[in-house]
Chains A and B, each alone.
Chain A
């Protein structure tokens, strides 16, 4: 009887461990999303702040994708951000705005999309043309310092 209890406890612990570490993810989850559940959008910013690959892309506070990479567009000296957006969000208007936000006061930076109302919609590999760059405290201070009073 004692062996049976140990066996049951051991099985439950092993299952919990496998679930926590992701070995027993529900079938078709992230794998299926990677296979075709996303499309790509780009946005360019004058200042990408500390935005990193993997940062979330949100709409109304809900995660709808992630930042795939952040690169320098050497021709215009702007940060070019590639985003992977959930395929279900396939009706974003072309006048949507991509905004670099900070979670809390000193939290990580992420992209919030403010949806537009234009009848035309963005599709794979399109650019969100209207953006709001990251505003750092350092930049704001610097701007005040260089201005004569």
Chain B
């Protein structure tokens, strides 16, 4: 299976362990903004305005209201990450070939959601979270 994981932090080692990919049959691509902590093919995006975004996160991330305000602003880390993914040719190809697309983190949801809408095949599955990804992978193998 071709699997694309959206994890901006790059922390995917645990998730990949849980997926237990078959090295012969499964091909994993991690989409992140930091080098992933797992030895897999990765697409590291460079969102614009990240230093401003981090400042805004520090200022607003301490409360639910602040986090919601940030989500609605142009400095929302999810929006920035999604923006960086928009014109990435390799990502487009990987998503188009994917059987399973997984958003592992909240800041990866919008990029995953838009990628699915734009580029994914009609049969590709797309989920948020590692548990449903594991279930779908197991079902596909049965």
Same assembly: no
Chain B residues packing against A (C-beta within 8 Å)? none
Chain A residues packing against B (C-beta within 8 Å)? none
